[in-house]
């Protein structure tokens, strides 16, 4: 029996008896509370949330993103990756930014899933600029979201209308990161289920993986497709290029050995990624599976054919991701320093 049917049945029972509600009723009620909590959090986000409390906040963040991009172009890619790694793990709440503290927080950045992530120090550069204008007003979680929005624009992606009003977590989820973030070798079924669990549908998942259009993959994460034998699904000429970039089966993880995701437009968020994976030139196992799985392949083809359509779906997907179960109202806090929870 469904929750709605169970609750209706209990109302009829209560009209004729004083029998206590069943355990299933309590479970249904609890699930309804969880759903209500999830939607209430999203509904409390709004555009221009800081229009009165800190009118210049979004402009300050954008200026900082532009300045950092002009000095360190890869920061824009970092902002996009930050959004994914923060939001998919329970909530868009800047838990990712918390650093390890002795006898205290264990940072999510220590997880194997965070390998290769960088530029965290520049998030605090943005935060410091905002704090000078409006102390303890703008959350680190919103800085993660807005810097990703502006980073996407700097990388030639779509302009996205992002809602704000998130608050910051007081805890790290380092011990459960791998329960939320799929591995690049996981099956497509598992990858899709992880995204669907946070409300991101299949088409939006395909669009989000289009972020692989920019940046790079460390050799450590792709050599299994090259050694001891080359993955037969890889384009042979592209496999030779990858072997030149990653010449040994056991690369030093501390060495910066990598291959570009996209050789033609490596710093532009465009649909070239989908064209590449249709030609079996994807670097990761998940890229190859995205192009061949019957659930995702039609969306890959459509995005490969139409860059504007890809940008539309990418915008929608980023918004779905960025609004995953945010802390709002009096939940969490507004951190003074994105690396640490506030002192009591």
Residues with catalytic function: 85
DSSP codes joined into one string, 163-211: -B--BB-SS--GGGHHHHSPPTTS-HHHHHHHHHTTT--HHHHHHHGGG
Tokens of 200: 């991101």
DSSP codes joined into one string, 218-273: EGGGTGGGTSSS--TTS-HHHHHHHHHHS-SSS--TTS--EEES-SSSTTS-STHH
Q: Is 212 annotated as a binding residue?
A: yes
Burial class (CB in 10 A: 0-12, 13-18, 19+), 94: buried
How far is residue 153 CA from its own chain's centroid? 17
Is residue 146 within 8 Å of residue 164, measured between CB atoms?
Answer: yes
Q: Is 270 annotated as a binding residue?
A: yes
How far is residue 28 CA from its own chain's centroid? 30
Residues 292 and 188: their CA atoms lie apart, in Å, by 10
Q: Is 262 annotated as a binding residue?
A: yes
Q: Is 89 annotated as a binding residue?
A: yes
Residues 142 and 61: their CA atoms lie apart, in Å, by 10
User: Which residues fall within 8 angstroms of residue 30, CB to CB, at 6 or more apart?
Assistant: none
What are the E-state strand segments in 74-121?
A: none
Q: Is 25 annotated as a binding residue?
A: no
Residue stretches of the annotated binding site: 86, 89, 93, 95, 182, 212, 262, 265, 270
Residue stretches of the annotated binding site for heme b: 212
Residue stretches of the annotated binding site for Ca(2+): 86, 89, 93, 95, 262, 265, 270
Residue stretches of the annotated binding site for substrate: 182
């Amino acid at each position: 029996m469904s929750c709605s049917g169970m609750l209706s049945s209990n109302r009829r029972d209560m009209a004729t008896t004083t029998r206590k509600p069943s355990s299933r009723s309590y479970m249904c009620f609890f699930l309804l509370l969880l759903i209500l909590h999830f939607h209430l959090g999203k509904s409390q986000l709004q555009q221009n949330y800081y229009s009165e409390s800190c009118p210049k906040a979004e402009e300050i963040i954008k200026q900082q993103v532009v300045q950092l991009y002009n000095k360190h172009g890869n920061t824009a890619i970092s902002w996009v990756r930050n959004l994914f790694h923060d939001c998919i793990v329970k909530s868009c709440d800047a838990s990712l930014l918390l650093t390890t503290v002795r006898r205290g927080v264990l940072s999510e950045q220590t997880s194997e899933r965070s390998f290769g992530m960088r530029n965290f120090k520049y998030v605090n550069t943005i935060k410091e600029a905002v704090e000078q204008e409006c102390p303890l007003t703008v959350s680190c979680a919103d800085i993660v979201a807005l810097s990703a929005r502006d980073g996407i624009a700097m990388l030639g992606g779509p302009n996205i209308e992002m809602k704000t009003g998130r608050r910051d977590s007081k805890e790290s989820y380092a011990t459960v990161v791998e329960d939320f973030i799929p591995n690049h070798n996981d099956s497509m079924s598992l990858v899709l289920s992880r995204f669907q669990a946070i409300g991101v549908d299949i088409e939006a998942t395909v669009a989000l993986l289009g972020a692989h259009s920019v940046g790079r993959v460390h050799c450590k994460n792709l050599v299994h497709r090259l050694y001891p034998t080359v993955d037969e699904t890889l384009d042979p000429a592209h496999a030779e290029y990858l072997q030149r970039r990653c010449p040994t089966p056991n690369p030093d993880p501390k060495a910066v050995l990598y291959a570009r995701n996209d050789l033609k437009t490596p710093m532009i968020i465009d649909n070239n990624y989908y064209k590449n994976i249709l030609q079996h030139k994807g670097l990761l196992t998940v890229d190859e599976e995205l192009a061949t799985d019957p659930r995702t392949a039609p969306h890959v083809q459509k995005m490969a054919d139409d860059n504007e359509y890809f940008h539309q779906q990418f915008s929608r997907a980023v918004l779905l991701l960025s609004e995953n179960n945010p802390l709002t109202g009096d939940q969490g806090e507004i951190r003074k320093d994105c690396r640490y929870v506030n002192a009591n």
